[in-house]
Amino acid sequence: MKRTHIYTYEIWGSVVEWPVKVYLSSSDVGSWKVDFEYVDPEARTSVSHSAKVAEDFIQIAEERNMDIEGFIKALQSAKQAEVRTLGDAIEGVHRSAV
């Protein structure tokens, strides 16, 4: 799957909040690339992570201060079946951990 915008969330700086856009792409070897693009000029412009299993996505969400439940919902409503399946897998792991 080519790089696709999946989710946007807000983070807070010292005084103001700004959006973070999350993009997802997949490779032929079963791994996913998760890109975070920051819209604030004082923040890093982008950060990339790679993930293979649902637990990786949960860890990445925690590191990036991303609402995992909002991300799961965005995945589950995606057009691509493989992305919806990924959302279901992450939700299963997340629910068992809570």
Segment 22-66, tens digit of pLDDT: 999 998 778 999 999 988 766 668 899 999 999 999 999 999 999
| Alpha-carbon gap, residue 41 to 80, rounded angstroms | 32
Residue 98 has pLDDT above 90, yes or no: no
| Mean pLDDT across 64-92 | 95
Average pLDDT, the chain: 90
For the chain, what is the domain count? 1
Residues 6+ apart with CB under 8 A from 28: none
Return the axis-axis angle of helices 81-97 and 54-63, rounded to nearest 10°.
70
Residue 31 corresponds to which tokens in the numbers above?
């791994």
**Which residues fall within 8 angstroms of residue 17, CB to CB, at 6 or more apart?**
10, 11
**pLDDT tops 80 at residue 88:** yes
Q: In one letter, which amino acid is 5?
A: H
Domain that holds residue 40: 4-97
Residue 42: the pLDDT is 67
Please list the residues that pair with 74 across neighbouring strands.
Answer: none
